[in-house]
Amino acid sequence: MIILWIDPWTTTTGFALIKKESWNFTLLDYGIFKTTPKIDLAIKLLEIWNDIKEIISSFKPDVVVIEKLFFQTNLKTGIDVAQARWVVMYESIRADTKILEYTPLQVKKAITWNGQANKLQLQNAIKMIFKLDEIPKPDDAADAIGLAYMGALNNRLT
């Protein structure tokens, strides 16, 4: 089973791919997609869609995991991110891929056993789980690995 996690933002979109075989997890790939700076949101959404379409087509994930949207202060940013999430959800559904959603708190609890863990604690836990030589960078990619791992831990997928 292949689990793809996407962290859709309008400038940088993090992704991670994990292969799950029984209770063995292999990190296949992770990184970020960047959109062209200072262009209209509609064009950014098209760039995100093309990236998502490419990665889903290439890896054919069984599950796509998306972070639940949460924002407190900037309504415009929240609306823009919601539109980017819609692009990911649309392409996932179009590819007949199951979608799971988790909050950052759920991911932190599952990986570090501490819902209040900071980014560095989460990154170090991911480094240990996947036996990486260094902490995954950038932060968006590390978050992506955490969410993909959270999706892989879901016992409803087996």
Encoded amino acid at 60, one letter: K
Between the two ends of the chain, the Cα-to-Cα distance in Å is 9
140 flagged as catalytic: yes
Gap between the Cα atoms of 37 and 54, Å rounded? 21
Spans of all domains in the chain: 2-157
Tell me the DSSP string of 60-125: --SEEEEEPP--SS-HHHHHHHHHHHHHHHHHHHHTT-EEEEE-HHHHHHHHHS-TT--HHHHHHH
Gap between the Cα atoms of 3 and 117, Å rounded? 24
**Cβ atoms 11, 37 nearer than 8 A:** yes
Low-confidence residues of the chain: pLDDT under 70 = 70-74, 155-158
> Which of 51, 80, 91, 140 is the catalytic position?
140
Gap between the Cα atoms of 62 and 141, Å rounded? 20
Gap between the Cα atoms of 123 and 145, Å rounded? 9
pLDDT at 136: 83
80 flagged as catalytic: no
Tell me the DSSP string of 19-75: EEETTEEEEEEEEEEEPPTT--HHHHHHHHHHHHHHHHHHH--SEEEEEPP--SS-H
> Which of 51, 67, 80, 143 is the catalytic position?
67
pLDDT at 158: 47
If one looks up domain 2-157 in CATH, what number appears?
A: 3.30.420.10
143 flagged as catalytic: no
